[in-house]
Amino acid sequence: MYSFPSLPLFIRLFNFFNSFVLVLLLLTANLWLIFKFTVSLANKSDELNMKKITIAIDGFSSCGKSTMAKDLAREVGYIYIDSGAMYRAVTLYSIENGIFDGDVIDTERLKKEIKDIHISFRLNKETGRPDTYLNGVNVENKIRSMEVSSKVSPISTLDFVREAMVAQQQAMGNEKGIVMDGRDIGTTVFPDAELKIFVTATPEIRAQRRYDELKAKGQAASFDEILENVKQRDYIDQNREVSPLRKAEDALLLDNTDLSIEEQKKWLFEQFNKVSK
């Protein structure tokens, strides 16, 4: 007849089994930690192997530069700087502080006060995109008004304004890993940028996009007025004496007149991956 092991032996076997299970669990946990650490090192290695670059996106007004730059920066973990918003902020400051008399700018007064105009960008957690701050105040919506749009070109032609803005932009971009859009980023602000893109589209398409944007924000808008403003800004931007709008010799041309947002995004990431790896 089969007899059960004595109680002390049974206890010893039970304790041995528990110890074995505990060792097995600890070994499994350690192997899991080693695996996670190895994966983490591999990811870090990939990040180090993908060099950070400076990306300059220039082009005409209302051609989608800012949207393109913001989306790219968010996807690749870069810092986004909206240079156009900076000139709009200076324009808003000038409007709100009586520096404009109709369409005439008090340049001497603005020249004295430009040192007191501080522009920064802070991430909007709701939109996932940076908002523009003028001397600590969020002015993202105000700088997109038609009043600012109609006066920003004359402000941006002033050499002392451009010098002040370029200095602020270059200070923001001391480190690699930034995306900046504007009119003279690839030619003046960051002439050594590793990736330069020049964006264009027909005036009519750009005016329609601007019209749709304003209507979506609940702002009053006239298509004809916007189209005239687009054409006027094109002329001023291309013919100003200081940093005129032009395509850098080594910039890639993107005409997005007939491109969808997804097609444009695909093209942009293809160019980024070619340069950053």
Q: Answer yes or no: are the C-beta atoms of 70 and 167 closer than 8 Å.
A: no
Per the domain annotation, does 101 fall within a domain?
Answer: yes
Per the domain annotation, does 35 fall within a domain?
Answer: no
Contacts of 119 (CB under 8 A, 6+ apart): 85, 86, 89, 90, 132, 133, 134, 165, 168
pTM over 0.85: no
Query: What is the reported pLDDT for 266?
Result: 93
Provide the domain count of the chain: 1
Per the domain annotation, does 24 fall within a domain?
Answer: no
Query: What is the reported pLDDT for 240?
Result: 84
H or E stretch including 247?
Answer: none
Per the domain annotation, does 30 fall within a domain?
Answer: no
156, amino acid identity: S
Distance between CA atoms of residues 54 and 83, nearest Å: 14
Query: What is the reported pLDDT for 44?
Result: 47
Per the domain annotation, does 50 fall within a domain?
Answer: no
Per the domain annotation, does 22 fall within a domain?
Answer: no
Which residues are registered as beta bridge partners of 132?
Answer: 121
Torsion of CA 173, 240, 201, 195, to 10 degrees: -30
Per the domain annotation, does 260 fall within a domain?
Answer: yes
Query: What is the reported pLDDT for 277?
Result: 76
**pLDDT mean values, one per 10 residues, the chain (277 residues):** 55 62 69 63 49 92 89 89 93 97 94 95 84 96 92 92 92 84 91 95 95 88 93 91 90 95 92 89
Distance between CA atoms of residues 106 and 122, nearest Å: 30
- With 0-12 CB in 10 A as exposed, 13-18 as middle and 19+ as buried, what is 89? buried
Q: Helix, strand, coil shares of the chain as percentages rounded to 5?
A: 55, 15, 25
- Domain holding 208, by residue range, is 57-276
What is the number of H-type helices and E-type strands within the chain? 9, 10
Per the domain annotation, does 213 fall within a domain?
Answer: yes
Query: What is the reported pLDDT for 248?
Result: 95
Distance between CA atoms of residues 24 and 30, nearest Å: 10
CATH code for position 171? 3.40.50.300
Query: What is the reported pLDDT for 82?
Result: 87
